[in-house]
Structure 1
Amino acid sequence: MALAYVARFATTAQGLGRYCRRKLRERGWEGRDDGVAAPDVDALVARFVANRYVDDGEFARARTGSLLRRGYGLRRVGQALDTAGVDKEDRVEVSEARLREAALRLAEKRRFGPFGSDGAPPADRAVREKQVAAMLRAGHSLDTARRMVEAADADTAREWVAAAEEETGREDR
């Protein structure tokens, strides 16, 4: 049952343990008094980790990339990894350039700031505040959200993202 689960779904060691315990509970193994011992879930999970059927680091890389491509920010990525049970040492360091790309992607997708119908940031303060709030809920920092929503035009926002990519490129050399 556990092997079929990890073959079908990306999961963490903690997620696999939760799944196995839930399935054992649903099948009536919890609290049995007939002398038959329930399977050792922790040993099973440890064996899956040792055989690399479950890899928390790889899960963190994949989930982080997926959420960033969808436009979510670092805080939201962290919440998803916390929920999945990924430890701090298994997490991926995210560059400023990737965070800005995610903010740009969200602004384009949701038509925030200069990506709206008229190509300029909204004149109405209440609309700008709602857009900033939506970006904050998506996990972006206040500075990033304001910078994206209040950009003069779409090219300015894209240049801001490109500047971070250039800085990241120089750091890699």
Structure 2
Amino acid sequence: MASSMEDRQSSSRRERKPKKPLTPDSLNWFALRYVERYATTREKLRRYLSDKLRERGWAGEGQAPIDAMVERFAELGYVDDRSFGESKARSLGRRGYGARRIDQTLTAAGIEPELREEIRGEVDDREAALAYARRKRIGPFAAEKPSPELRQKQFAAMVRAGHGFDQVKAILGAETEHELYDEFP
């Protein structure tokens, strides 16, 4: 009985077989699988394929055609930085995140600065700030007036969510929801 237990343990400690190096066909297969499963940007696809190459190595001739493959996928419409960015920005805006936080997310996704600027302009900062305050029960959406310590935490949370100081002050200083709609920056 002891020997069969040792056999099982030693088999689980065995080294795994090294994975086969990528060929042009297998690299294309991984790229297709990635874009069919995830909405992505050119840069995110490029990073993914680079990671696969680092894990497995390259069996093809010359350098792996990552850039050419990414561009071909973009031309075919499998990867679209604009639609990815717009979708992500709308989603974050609905959840209450501000322009700074949206910009950070789009930067991390590898979206170019000019395109980020265009996309950010489409998000209504005022509505995003109100959505965040509503969701977190801050300002006039709170059940009761917060203590100074809680107010400070709420202020910091809204700033971390990407909202400007003036917006945060207006929300935290409002007694009623109507005040926000009348004099909100």
TM-score tier by shorter-chain length is 0.7 to 0.9
| TM-score between both structures, scaled by the size of structure 2 | 0.76
Query: How many Å apart are 1:95 and its aligned residue?
Result: 5.4
In 1, are the aligned partners of 2:93 and 2:128 still within 8 Å (CA)? yes
Match of 1:47 in 2: 72
Higher relative contact order (CA 8 A, sep 6+): 1
Unaligned runs of 5+ in 2: 1-29
Q: 1:83 aligns with which of 98, 108, 118?
A: 108
The question of 1:25 aligning with 2:51 is answered no
Q: Deviations over 1:37-72 (max 9, x none)?
A: 453101101111111211111111111101001110
Name the residue aligned to 1:125: 148
Q: How does 1:84-123 map to 2 (within 5 A)?
A: 84-91=109-116, 92-94=119-121, 98-118=124-144, 121-122=145-146
Q: Do residues 141 (structure 1) and 170 (structure 2) align?
A: no
**Superposed CA offset, 1:122-146 (max 9, x none):** 3x33322221111000000000111
CA RMSD of the aligned region, Å? 2.0
Tell me the SS of whatever aligns to 1:39.
Answer: coil
Q: How many residues align?
A: 154
Q: Which has the larger radius of gyration?
A: 2
Distance in 2 between residues matched to 1:83 and 1:105, nearest whole Å: 24
Moved over 3 A (4+): 35-38, 158-161
Unaligned runs of 5+ in 1: 165-173
Shift of 1:151: 0.8
Contact 1:104 1:158 in 2 (8 A): no
Fraction of identical pairs, as percent? 44
Task: Give the letter for the 1:60 counterpart.
Answer: G
Asked if the contact 2:138/2:172 (under 8 Å) is kept, the reply is yes
